Amino acid sequence: MGWFLPLLNNSFFLLLIRYGIVGVVASLFHGIISYSLVEFLHIDFMIAHFVGFIFGTITAYLGHYFYSFKDQRNHKQLFFKFLLISVIAFFIHEFGAYFLVTQAHFNYKSQVLPFLLVVVPVFTFVLNRFWVFSNSPTFK
């Protein structure tokens, strides 16, 4: 436990924790909304997935803005950059899964999904940290 206490004073470690919490909450919103639209309203899964993605993206943006990066700038300066990264991440997930499964013949459950669940969040964290929220008060 002694090795863990210094981490609680490390601002980068705490940022990663906050970023992860927001990511989990946003993913839950995405999943619950998508599932509910399909299960209870019988909406096509692709439409439901897209609607869930929109709600998850808004949740992630607000969570990162107010909690992860604690930014105070105008949303106009940040939201479209964040949205661009989210859309790119969405396509990396979709096309990455498609390519790795159908063309490279990797197993989806044991290889592709774990790979994408690590690579894409790291990619989005780096872009959010160094591009979208680069001037956040968290780093001053």
Whole-prediction pTM: 0.85
* SS3 annotation, 35-95: HHHHHHHCCCHHHHHHHHHHHHHHHHHHHHHHHHCCCCCCHHHHHHHHHHHHHHHHHHHHH
Per-residue pLDDT of 25-83, as tens digits, reads 999 999 999 999 999 999 998 898 899 999 999 999 999 999 999 998 899 889 999 99
Q: Are 128 and 82 in contact (CB under 8 A)?
A: yes
